[in-house]
Homo-oligomer: A and B are copies of this chain.
Amino acid sequence: MPVTIYDVAREAGVSMATVSRVVNGNPNVKPLTRKKVLAAIERLGYRPNAVARGLASKKTTTVGVIIPDISSLFFSELARGIEDIATMYKYNIILCNSDQRMEKELQLINTLLEKQVDGLLFLGAEVKEEHLQALTSTSVPTVLAATRDADNVLPSVSIDHFQAAYDATEALVSRGHKRIAMISGPPNDPLSGLMRYEGYKKALNDGGIELDEKLVATGNYFYESGLATTKAFLALAEPPTAIFAANDEMAIGAIHAIQDSGLNVPDDIEVIGHDNIRLVEMVRPRLTSVVQPMYDIGAVAMRLLTKYMNNENVEEHVVLLPHRIEFRESTKPQQA
């Protein structure tokens, strides 16, 4: 029913091969012939079948993206970076939510490989041996975004979480705080969880402050957990005077818990978040936060993937993007 390349060929009085050449911009076609073919295409309303093309050429111009949760403020921003660069390079994106469940992640990898994607972008928390196995068992290029595998065997794009957390904590230390709490992520999250916690510990240590276990709570990255853990902090005999949260949502929860108890941010307690999602501008006081360039991570990861798909040579396969702290009103201006 639909018009095929064969119909166009007949209409234009040439062979399928020539039509294919015209469609694909192959220069080996006489201008006049090209014009005839183009006219026939127009007349018939021909639309190339990408599936047939994919079968014949073994390229689908499609890449698979496995993402924990597209509805998350953090990942949706990242996804946008991916998509924009993909568009720029004429790729389409098959988007899949994994909810960080390994079983689902592995199954998605398989499905995407069945669909013959030209490349794979994996975003998530932990990259385990099983992932590595599934991802390296194929020749399809893969890039990790906002995460890394322990041995850096796969290409990846992320920031230095340890250093970022160190910097945030250090900013608090240098402001003279002695009781600095941290709302950390789950410890089974190696980067945003564990690494940030390690950075926090190191900064305390370098500042000559002894770690107080009671000032460390584990959250799940959601607002509510920031609220709850901070309430517990405030009930302590010696509550903290500063809080570093492993992400912004929890930090905002912390601010509200503090405000709800009648205290003031930043006068009574200073708060620093992490990631610098758009939300940080939409609360009062606006939240000081470690900038993690989500959009850029996505964009750079996708760009990197295009290089692999083109068999271009890649100098450094583990890229760490710069981070910085954006100071706002949830921390006091730095004393001179």
Interface 9-mer from A112-120, A151-159, A170-178 = A112-120
Contact B47 A51 (CB under 8 A): no
User: What is the minimal beta-carbon distance from A319 to any residue of chain B, in angstroms?
Assistant: 22
User: In the complex, what residues of B have CB within 8 A of residue A115's CB?
Assistant: 50-51, 62, 92
Contact B97 A95 (CB under 8 A): no
Interface locus among A28-36, A52-60, A300-308: A52-60
List residues of chain B with CB within 8 A of the CB of A281: 223
Which residue in chain B gives the minimum CB-CB distance to A253? B282
Work out how many copies of this chain go into the complex. Answer: 2
Kindly list chain B residues whose C-beta atoms are within 8 Å of the C-beta of A282: 223, 249, 252-253, 256, 279, 283
The answer to whether B283 and A94 have CB atoms under 8 Å apart is: no
A136 within 8 Å of B by Cβ?
Answer: no
When the two chains form their complex, are residues B95 and A93 in contact, meaning their CB atoms are under 8 A apart?
Answer: yes
Chain A stretch 180-232: residues in CB contact (< 8 A) with chain B: 223
In the assembled complex, the Cα of A76 lies from the Cα of B278 at a distance in Å of 14
Using A51-B55, A73-B73, A83-B97 as known contacts, list a sample of 7 further A-B pairs with CB atoms less than 8 Å apart, ordered by residue number in A: A51-B115, A62-B94, A87-B96, A92-B111, A94-B94, A253-B282, A256-B284
